[in-house]
Amino acid sequence: MSNILSSNFGCEISARESRVSDFFALLKPRVMSLVVFTGFAGLWVAPHALDMHPFLIIIAMLCLAVNAGAAGAINMWYDRDIDAVMKRTRGRPIPMGRVDANDALTFGIVLSVFSVMLMGVALNWVAAGILAFANLFYVVVYTMWLKRSTPQNIVIGGAAGAFPPMVGWAAVTGDVAIEAVVLFAIIFFWTPPHFWALSLFANSDYKAAKIPMMPVVAGVRATKIQMIIYTIVLFPITLLPYFMGVAGVVYLISAIALSGFFILTAIKVFFSDDLKPARLMFRYSIFYLFALFLAVMINAT
């Protein structure tokens, strides 16, 4: 009898742990980590950031992480039909039946409201307002409108992922300055080549789900040309933090090296007939953004 009870208790714990992990997966933790990192960079380079109480910094980053995760959960709720079709996403909790769709939606909405309200009460309502706008932009503008209707979905919708540095800056200052907008612009122009590199080797998935990503609608060659254009446009934008006095010469050298190599990866993708360079560019693009914003923080003036 004791063995049976012990076994049942163990199964209950295992099921509970599995359910927690499934809800955590709804938050898209890998995406969340990039959001928190770039948001912290915006906070770190803001004027008088060092005067901010460490507890408030933790609260600001917690709100940013929870809000980004909440938006991801609502995104998974809305996209559950196409997630079930795509190989890359069919293992997510909702398509696999491990989380009920309505539970995921409720989870996302509650966390969205909680994070915005906490940011407003603990920090300021400017930062909370930007946080709320970013959430609505990702959920409504990108997920519900653009993603399934236009190949410009990533170009316009990418703005949602560019807001974190502005949130971090506003959490310290209570306003939005041109320096924060520049950090926003870096992520905004980084997003299309980053996602188009992914869409090149996930093209069959997007076709199956009938999502009008650039390679599906405009073709592979046109997408590759756009990737080169965006990496070239991004290059001078990444130099602006130095010329605006946000970061020093170490950042300038880092930005030139990192952005120059980003352009080279796009060129290599253009001249290649296989998918390996696209995969490598996608991975490098993640490292690139981390390294660029790390350089901003290390060499902040």
Mean pLDDT by groups of 10 residues along the chain of 301 residues: 48 55 88 92 92 94 96 95 88 92 95 97 96 95 90 86 96 95 97 93 84 88 95 97 95 97 96 91 96 95 74
Let me know: does 205 contact 82? Beta carbons within 8 Å.
Answer: no
Q: What is the pLDDT of residue 7?
A: 45
- 247 phi and psi angles, rounded to 5 deg: -135, 160
Q: What is the pLDDT of residue 1?
A: 54
pLDDT digits 0-9 by tens, 106-145? 999 999 999 999 999 999 999 999 999 999 999 999 999 9
Identify the sign of the CA torsion 53, 55, 56, 62. Answer: positive
Q: What is the pLDDT of residue 13?
A: 47
How far separated are the first and last CA of the chain, in Å rounded?
68
Q: What is the pLDDT of residue 10?
A: 46
Residues 6+ apart with CB under 8 A from 60: 39, 43, 119, 122, 123, 127, 167, 168, 171
State which amino acid sits at residue 58.
I
Task: Report the predicted TM-score, pTM, of the whole model to 2 decimal places.
Answer: 0.91
Let me know: does 295 contact 251? Beta carbons within 8 Å.
Answer: yes
CA distance 185 to 223: 21
Two tokens, residue 70: 């909440």
Reduced to 3 states (helix: H, G, I; strand: E, B; else coil), residue 52 is coil
CA distance 161 to 153: 13
How many angstroms from the chain centroid is the CA of residue 208?
A: 24
pLDDT digits 0-9 by tens, 202-233? 888 888 888 888 888 888 999 999 999 999 99
Domain boundaries, the chain: 22-176, 178-301
Q: What is the pLDDT of residue 18?
A: 57
CATH code, residues 22-176: 1.10.357.140
In 3D, which of 200, 217, 212 has the Cα closest to residue 269? 200
